[in-house]
Amino acid sequence: MNNTTCTRVSYDFQHGFLPPVYILVFVVGLVANGWGLKSLLRTWKKLKIINVFVLNLGLADILYLLTLPFLVVYYFMESKWIFGDAFCKITRFCFHLNLYGSIGFLTCISVYRYLAIVHPIRVLGRITVAHSVWISVLVWLLVCVQCLPEMFYVKTFGNNPKQCFDTTFEFHVEDYLKYSFGRTLAGFCFPFLITLGCYGHVIAVLCGRNTTTKVLKQRSLKLLFILILLFSVCYIPYHIFRNLNLWRRVLIKHKMCRQWFNGVYIAHKISRGLVCLNSALNPLVYLHGNEDVLAQLRRLLQQARRMFCHLSLSNSGRVPAAQTAEELNKI
């Protein structure tokens, strides 16, 4: 089919969809991750092995969240990048560093939970906080090696202001498709299979043990649910539609067109919005694994509820304003 008969791809979709998603993720993610990291650092001397991975997960999120305001400006300006070529590459590099760093540390958490539950006697005393620190350094190094080629692909095109590609310009799109497919296997598929295998075995072991406490089973099931949510909502759609969209661009480059082009492009942009949600959803791991954070959350909710009740009574005229202010000072 000749490319002149192709249905026009709706490139304007991203300008209306991505900025609101980025703003929401930036606000929620910054508050949730900041609070979670603060809680972990407050109990630094009691830091557990799994909390080292959670801490690195939060740092990866913060690194990406700080680039979102620049992307919001970019898409509000209808894909006009005004921050320079180098910073475009850094922004896109931080996105992939967060993506594959998050997957890597979630995999580490899954493996540690598997060892602690399925092989507790073998693991007891043999894995220390120092080991988890070195494993975290190794994860960062592997992720940096995977993402480093991003810095060498052409990311900007056009007159000033330019476009800032999340992949690369059409001239290198075939090479980038090969790189993207390899990184999908190494950075997503293998960790996903490891995580799935670990928790599949954990659930089977817990269900087969009569000595396992109900609390441990519930916590393991909750963490499994969180990981399934992250992978199914954030990671799986993005990797599928990113590679399909790159294939679409390769076909267009070779003067071929298909009816599914527009649908794949829109699905890819939706998946880009969904994948950045991982920075707002990752703090669920804090809530699952840190009882102190849960206690703080309950106290904040109780204070907010009492404050709301006092304000409601004050506005209805049932409680004098002076008395309400005095009561609020006691909270």
Q: Please, which residues have CB within 8 angstroms of residue 126's CB and are 6 or more apart in sequence?
A: none
Alpha carbon distance 143, 138 (integer Å): 9
Let me know if residue 107 belongs to a domain: yes
Alpha carbon distance 157, 313 (integer Å): 59
Residues 66 and 205 in one domain: yes
Residues 282 and 294 in one domain: no
Residues 274 and 295 in one domain: no
Residues 312 and 266 in one domain: no
Ranked by mean pLDDT, the top range of 42-46, 79-83, 227-231 is 79-83
Question: Count of residues for the chain?
Answer: 331
Indicate the helix (H) or strand (E) that contains 289. helix 284-289
88 neighbors 126 (Cβ within 8 angstroms): no
Residue percentage of the chain with pLDDT more than 70? 80
275 neighbors 103 (Cβ within 8 angstroms): no
Position 129 pLDDT exceeds 60 = yes
Question: Once rounded to an integer, what is the mean pLDDT over residues 253-280?
Answer: 90
Let me know if residue 1 belongs to a domain: no
Q: Which of 79-88, 105-114, 236-245, 314-323 has the lowest mean pLDDT?
A: 314-323
Alpha carbon distance 310, 327 (integer Å): 8
Q: Please, which residues have CB within 8 angstroms of residue 243's CB and are 6 or more apart in sequence?
A: 177, 180, 181, 184
Let me know if residue 38 belongs to a domain: yes
What is the structure's pLDDT at 172? 92
Residues 110 and 240 in one domain: yes
What is the structure's pLDDT at 320? 47
Alpha carbon distance 77, 38 (integer Å): 35
Residue 327: pLDDT band (50, 70, 90) is: very low
Alpha carbon distance 45, 146 (integer Å): 33
What is the structure's pLDDT at 329? 40
Position 14 pLDDT exceeds 70 = yes
Q: Give the model confidence (pLDDT) of 139-192 as tens digits.
A: 999 999 999 999 999 999 887 778 999 999 888 999 999 999 999 999 999 999
Position 293 pLDDT exceeds 70 = no
172 neighbors 89 (Cβ within 8 angstroms): no
| pLDDT higher at 6 or 240 | 240
For the chain, what is the mean pLDDT?
83
CATH number for the domain harbouring residue 237: 1.20.1070.10
φ, ψ dihedrals at 328, nearest 5°: -65, -30
Taking the model in full, what pTM does it have?
A: 0.84
Question: Once rounded to an integer, what is the mean pLDDT over residues 98-113?
Answer: 92
Alpha carbon distance 13, 103 (integer Å): 28
What is the structure's pLDDT at 151? 94
What is the structure's pLDDT at 310? 66
Residues 216 and 164 in one domain: yes
Chain CA centroid to CA 239, Å: 13
Residues 226 and 313 in one domain: no
* Amino acid letter for position 158: G
Residues 63 and 77 in one domain: yes
Alpha carbon distance 23, 37 (integer Å): 21
Let me know if residue 102 belongs to a domain: yes
Helix axes 85-118, 68-76, angle to 10 degrees: 130
Residues 260 and 295 in one domain: no
Let me know if residue 3 belongs to a domain: no
| Residue in the block written with tokens 């508050």 | 31
The domain total for the chain is: 2
Residues 245 and 303 in one domain: no
Identify the domain containing residue 44 by its residue range. Answer: 9-287
Q: Give the model confidence (pLDDT) of 232-258 as tens digits.
A: 899 999 999 999 999 999 998 888 888
Position 1 pLDDT exceeds 50 = no
Residues 225 and 295 in one domain: no
DSSP type of residue 189: I
207-to-210, 212, 293 alpha-carbon distances in Å: 8, 8, 28
* Amino acid letter for position 213: T
238 neighbors 271 (Cβ within 8 angstroms): yes
Question: Once rounded to an integer, what is the mean pLDDT over residues 291-320?
Answer: 60
Let me know if residue 2 belongs to a domain: no
Residues 42 and 79 in one domain: yes
